[in-house]
Structure 1
Amino acid sequence: MIVGRASREKTRPSLFWLLAMIVVPIVGWLARIEIRGAHHLPRDGAYVMAPNHHSEIDPLTVAVATWKIGRAPRFMAKESLFRVPVLGSALKATGMVPVTRGKSGAAQSMEQASELVRGARGVIVYPEGTLTRDPDLWPMRGKSGAVRLALAGDIPLIPVAHWGEQQFMPRYGKLKPFPPRRRVTVLIGEPVDLSDLSGRAHEASALSEATTRLMDEISRLLGELRDEAPPKERWDPVRRGQNETGRM
């Protein structure tokens, strides 16, 4: 099912068609995905989609939702993976966005943004950088990657919240395939207004302000899905003394 008009990148034959034939039925067994706010995702042109991240499987549900809306789901990938035989060719063929460790963030974001604009492509970037450490699965403190990319190319920054994957794939837990078709809701918000920060992708204060706006909106959207008020203070793994694996 397509929620709205499909873009040219989806209607044109590509490797995504083959991937969709495999992934969509698998995800469809696990989840009955309901999409809200699909009209906020641009049908054409570049965009940066920024979802919350509370389950190891949610990249698949977000990707399927993006495909159903009518856009091809693309993610960031380590540059080294592009040199792996077969895998590298697949990543290039599907337009995944390479990330080079050690390269200047500003310079890299400008290159990535320019490529997205030239190719009229979107990319999915998890602003938290990893699974949330918040005990109640609320979004934790965000990083600047998504907003840096959006500001560098003046690209729409689309906040997304999703909820329900924890029913069959709890954070750090095992997959529970039965019962099938648990409800997952994906809520796409209006683009975050960064107009007053335009041209300031190199300024730390602008990146901090843009990241705060983005995480506030993702939290608000998730609160709408959960029918709960998000916490006033976001979980900060650095202040809590946790490392990237979430262990003390």
Structure 2
Amino acid sequence: MSRRKIGFWYRLAAILVKPPMLVLFKRDWRGMDHIPAERGFITAVNHNSYLDPLSYAHFQYNTGRVARFLAKESLFRGKVVGRFMRGTGQIPVFRESTDAAGAFRAAVDAVHRGECVVFYPEATLTRDPGLWPMEGKTGAARVALLTGAPVIPVAQWGAHEAMPPYARKKRFRPFPRKTLVVVAGEPVDLSAYEGVEPTAEVLREVTDAIMDAITALLAEIRGETPPAKRYVHRRTPSVPAAEAPHVPQAPPRAPEEERTE
């Protein structure tokens, strides 16, 4: 995809966001060669800070393939926010749909148009005490099977040091200057599922394969061994997400290997 196709609104967002990101953070970006140069694809990214989308969007923008994020459809109805969401090509998710596949129809259409569709399979900030990826939702797997598009696993690390997840006061702590690590891996091998009916069991298997790939990348970044069993987050009325306990800071990451401005 050429820069000509990025569009006015996405360029405007980049003009506003990139300068402070360049000033406030160092970058350790790896695996840009795994991002497809053309045709539609899916990226599946872990989530451990509110800054993750900005960090990842910056990385993806510099590959020449801009990120199209999923957002609930109601956001697209507002005059200001809706215009921005539509202008930057973000993707509405129709959660009121009773058809699971239909809920992601806009994502499927975007992949068919040749876009990069971004999924956070955990669907929320990780609650794992060590900030490892949790059990994923099946949306990315469903869209991958419906489109046959490659799924690129992406691991992020470092943003949580500037903005810890679920802190009672969401204080921004940019100093000392933090390093945002973003690593894209090889496409997840889903060849065994080509032409297979997307049953609940199949969707779970594909989702687990995607989460395994993300976790392996994060383990490489951190130089640590992830938990043997993935954390399963269950929302309950008695424990609202906003009141979840503080997550301890994770150990230092592995030495940087590749840096891209």
Is the pair's TM-score, using the shorter chain for normalization, greater than 0.5?
Answer: yes
Amino acid paired to 2:207: T
Contact 1:106 1:202 in 2 (8 A): no
Amino acid paired to 2:173: K
Q: Deviations over 1:186-223 (max 9, x none)?
A: 11011111122123463111100001101111111000
Secondary structure at the counterpart of residue 69 of structure 1: coil
* Unmatched runs of 5 consecutive residues or more in structure 2: 246-261
Q: Give 1:105-184 correspondences, 5 Å limit.
A: 105-118=100-113, 120-173=114-167, 174-180=171-177, 182-184=178-180
Q: CA deviation at 1:102?
A: 2.1
Contact 2:42 2:111 in 1 (8 A): no
Task: Determine which of 71, 92, 103 is the counterpart of 1:98.
Answer: 92
State the distance in 2 between where 1:201 and 1:76 align.
24
Return closer, same or farther for 1:242/1:153 CA change in 2, 3 Å cut-off. farther
Contact 1:75 1:124 in 2 (8 A): yes
Corresponding residue of 1:39: 33
Q: Give 1:200-219 correspondences, 5 Å limit.
A: 200=196, 202-219=198-215
Secondary structure at the counterpart of residue 68 of structure 2: coil
Contact 2:67 2:117 in 1 (8 A): yes
Corresponding residue of 2:191: 195
Q: CA deviation at 1:70?
A: 1.6
After superposing on structure 2, the runs of 4+ consecutive aligned residues of structure 1 that deviate more than 4 Å are 9-13, 239-246
Task: Determine which of 65, 73, 76 is the counterpart of 2:67.
Answer: 73
Task: Determine which of 208, 229, 235 is the counterpart of 2:225.
Answer: 229
Q: Deviations over 1:41-87 (max 9, x none)?
A: 11222111111101111111011011112211210011111111022
Q: Give 1:13-92 correspondences, 5 Å limit.
A: 13-92=7-86
Q: Deviations over 1:158-208 (max 9, x none)?
A: 10001111221111232112223x212111011111122123463111100
Return closer, same or farther for 1:18/1:101 CA change in 2, 3 Å cut-off. same
Corresponding residue of 2:234: 238
Secondary structure at the counterpart of residue 29 of structure 1: helix
State the distance in 1 between where 2:175 and 2:188 align.
37
What is the identity percentage for the equivalent residue pairs of Structure 1 and Structure 2? 40
State the distance in 1 between where 2:21 and 2:197 align.
36
Q: Does residue 5 of structure 2 align to residue 8 of structure 1?
A: no
State the distance in 1 between where 2:89 and 2:7 align.
14
Q: CA deviation at 1:243?
A: 5.5
State the distance in 2 between where 1:171 and 1:41 align.
28
State the distance in 1 between where 2:200 and 2:43 align.
21
State the distance in 2 between where 1:10 and 1:81 align.
27
